[in-house]
Structure 1
């Protein structure tokens, strides 16, 4: 069984006119005690909401999402007490950071026992999504693709990884953009159509047909697809390989 694993990295967002910083926190937990250990980091407001949750799956997703978000925000702002960082929900259920440090925003994603969060300045919008690559989800994900994506994009990703990886890439890239726009599943996914992809050694770059001002970096870690959407003119200097190696080392330790 996998042990608790946490990865935090700060990276630069290089723009033609200036530079920003962002932080990414990825984590995974296997044991109930790991989730229970997160409760101590909740602000009073967050704990009050957590106490209303009745189902274990929802409780765990809330805890791992808040933990990743607080870690990412703390790493970016230098805040030492996670309880002083409050992650509230907006009217569209998007996360809002309440902190006395800086004007910071956060994007949160979670799937099963995996969670991730991006902390970034409000001036530079970003979004993140992750999903497990699962053949059982094939029919559902296929139904969200346009004809162009089904015939041109999925086969390219399938050649580099797998068919199901291609379907999951499209889903997460669209979800990541929807979080920037704060629309979620309320907007038809065909509006987020992927028009082109470039396949690299460690990640795949996705470009949007109707939102040409954005792009997404997608990569696979431990059979999970991650996608980070951000402005197209930004150069994102993030070491994807270090994240992959971190989870690989954790898997080896668990096997031993």
Structure 2
């Protein structure tokens, strides 16, 4: 498997850093792809760690606490989808799958197990970097905005603590992946406003991401399964046919 960006071109880039203090974990069993990708991001100023298989990757996740993980699907030891589920037990940082699998079912499965993006091989390193930057930026913004502190939204069986970013359904804490949490917060803070799938994708994943609108559909479906009384008949996150989605309330939710 070859990366499409010409090796000679990026090796001539020099040591100019675009970002600093961002820790990246690359989990890839193909040595050429792993080393080439690591070298590219190191030249861009990232602190890069690598692993060739799943168990080694899990150790690095717990020890080094990377801020973003690039994860191959076909891995020895623990395959990528299962590894992603294990990673989510320890961290909510962005996980971007790198895979030669092109079947839409594989992409949906990747998103369902907690990935934030799914990139097919061969990939261009500059495009990959753009996705990495977008996910790091989005993750940083949603978890650090000061105007979201000390607020709790309560509506029927749903409680969202925007200080701790905890979500409770019928008094039980619910585990949400980062993008699911970002999506829920956006919809709750704009109650009854209809967002198209395109708008949600731009706001949550960023206009400089390169995915598709199926990503939004998968995350909405996952979120409904976790917070709705009856996910087959969603009362909170409703589909407005022909337009998009909205968080439906009869009376405006107030924070306290």
What TM-score does the superposition give when structure 1 sets the normalisation length?
0.27
**TM-score, normalised on structure 2?**
0.27
The structure number with the bigger radius of gyration is 2
